[in-house]
Amino acid sequence: MTIQPPDTITGLQKGLRLLESFHGGLPRMTVTQAAAAAQLSRTAARRFLLTLKDSGYLDSDGKHYWMTARALRIGDAYLQSARLPKIVQPIVERLGYLAQESATMGILDGDDLIYIARGSATRITSPSLRPGSRVPLYCTAGGRVLLASMTASDARATLQRVAFRPLTPYTRLDMDEVISLLPVIAEQGYATVDREFEVNMRSLSVPLKNPTGAMIGVLSISVNAQKMALEQLVTQCLPLLFESQVLLRDLL
């Protein structure tokens, strides 16, 4: 059993965990579903749901609960107040403009990659690239860059905690195959993913590190697979990514 620090408010932790349980695959939940998703008793889940509804973060029809727009305040507060999004946003917008494609910056959050900045010039309208979007590590270019920055044992442990799902016909579903790619990614300094996450998308990512060499996140460019071959993506966009990588290094 994990021993909590004496000043920890476990009720707040449980309430936040319940909020995080809502996602695209489960946007509306009953009390029973919420209890299972947040690992709470049914009685506790009901009390948290009613409290969050009373606070305006959830709404309900009496049986199901769903998130309201008020929940956006939490994510927006991070984007508005945190130092990192403010630093990287101008460079990411410049990168998107120069590439005339979709540029993003993401960080590791738990076992996922979450985007915190996006360039303004893009030919891709995928909602998965918006700031705040959470994507898996195993089938995204940025995710594999993050995995390649870990020790082999940490990368394997991370992948063992996630469910490999065939998001497209091209998604690699063999954990050992994904792990075998990581040393090459670490050595060459970039990763590509070809239609594994979305069937019409190719992506290219590089790591973002601060001057001490600590891993901060990833910088990526995504293109429409019908308009640009993978080799063309690397040839045209990798120099732009490396340039932006250098520009950001001393700012992180």
pTM comes to 0.80
pLDDT at position 1 is 44
Helix axes 31-38, 42-54, angle to 10 degrees: 100
Q: Which CATH entry fits the domain spanning 82-249: 3.30.450.40, 3.40.50.300, 3.40.50.620, 3.20.20.70?
A: 3.30.450.40
Note the helical H segments in the chain: 10-20, 31-38, 42-54, 72-81, 83-99, 141-148, 152-160, 175-188, 230-249
Whether residue 40 has pLDDT greater than 60: yes
Whether residue 20 has pLDDT greater than 90: no
Helix (H, G, I), strand (E, B) or coil at 57: coil
Lowest mean pLDDT segment, chosen from 119-123, 169-173, 187-191: 119-123
**What is the rounded distance in angstroms from the CA atom of residue 50 to the CA atom of residue 30?**
12
pLDDT at position 83 is 86
Mean pLDDT of the chain, nearest integer = 91
- Conformational region of residue 223, where left means phi above 0, alpha means psi within -120 to 50, and beta covers everything else: beta
Whether residue 51 has pLDDT greater than 90: yes
pLDDT at position 124 is 61
Angle at CA of residue 136, ends 78 and 67, nearest 5°:
50
**What is the rounded distance in angstroms from the CA atom of residue 200 to the CA atom of residue 224?**
6
The sign of the torsion formed by the CA atoms of 9, 13, 16, 18 equals: negative
**What is the rounded distance in angstroms from the CA atom of residue 110 to the CA atom of residue 172?**
21
pLDDT at position 9 is 84
Domain extents for the chain? Answer: 10-72, 82-249
Whether residue 157 has pLDDT greater than 90: yes
Please give the full DSSP string across 82-146, using - where no structure is assigned: -HHHHHHHHHHHHHHHHHTSEEEEEEEETTEEEEEEE-S--S---GGGSTT-EEESTTSHHHHHH
Residue type, 222: S
Whether residue 122 has pLDDT greater than 70: no
CATH 3.40.190.10 fits 10-72, yes or no: no
